Homo-oligomer: A and B are copies of this chain.
Amino acid sequence: MTSKQSTKNRILDAAEALFADRGFAETSLRTITHRADVNLASVNYHFGSKKSLIQAVFDRFLQGFVKGLDAEMKPLEASQVAPSVEQVLHTLVKPLMTMDDRRHQGSSNFMKLLGRAYAESQGHMRRFMQEHYAAYLARFTSLLHRAAPDLTNSEMFWRLHFMLGTVIFTLAGSDALRDIAAADFRESVSLEQTLERLLPFLAAGFRAQPINSLKNVS
């Protein structure tokens, strides 16, 4: 079926890198194909359109990510005892790390991409993810519920998204932050260290006592 495996992947690689540090609209097909060293028309031939290319880039990443996430979640799901919030959050670390150094490019290419996608085009990507990867989100949510059974569903929902925001945002801008930190504190931190720094913050926030007031007249 596929004679040359390369072209399609060359395009995906180039697109992923360029999207990450320029944005979607700011990256032209000509730039992509030039970097991939393929003909301009190939992207339309192989993917149909630029929009489909973007989706393809995401799919390739997310499939790799959820495969790793699945492996991490399974033992927690199988266990009889309820996991801690930290344990649940920790399922994200290894998959993120793997995704990070699978790409050759210096640092977390893809997180920038995710951050962009989330900000871009009125939540179009948020919807895409929630449709295509709803099952994994449900499993993750379920684990969190076991870890913190006293939180209401509504509160869970919000805090899950708070955490999601923090992770994506931090990882998306992590090189910039790392540079500043390196300059100001003479500490050089790896992605893993950033994640380990992030988890206690998230876990504590997630477990925080919900608002007591707001309408404390009762």
Which A residues are closer than 8 A to B by beta carbons?
21-23, 25-26, 112, 115-116, 118-123, 126, 153-155, 157-159, 161-162, 164-166, 168-170, 172-173, 176-177, 180-181, 184-185, 187, 193-194, 196-211, 214
Q: Is the interface of A mostly helix, strand, loop or mixed?
A: helix
Nearest opposing residue in chain B for A214, CB measure? B196
Known: A25-B23, A154-B181. A176 touches B120 (CB 8 A): no
> Inside 8 A of A177's CB, which chain B residues have their CB?
158, 161
Indicate if the CB atoms of B211 and A197 lie closer than 8 Å. yes
Looking at the assembled complex, report how far the CB atom of A20 sits from the nearest CB atom of chain B, in whole angstroms: 9
Given A202-B205, A211-B196, verify A173-B21 contact (CB < 8 Å): no
- Is the Cβ of A118 less than 8 Å from the Cβ of B173? yes
10 nearest interchain CB pairs? Answer: A165-B169, A204-B208, A205-B205, A25-B25, A201-B205, A123-B176, A119-B119, A166-B166, A154-B185, A200-B208
Other than A26-B121, A115-B119, A162-B201, give 16 A-B pairs with Cβ distance below 8 A: A22-B121, A23-B120, A112-B119, A118-B169, A154-B181, A158-B181, A161-B170, A162-B166, A162-B198, A165-B165, A165-B168, A168-B169, A200-B208, A200-B210, A201-B206, A205-B205
Q: Name the residue of chain B whose CB is nearest to the CB of A116.
A: B119
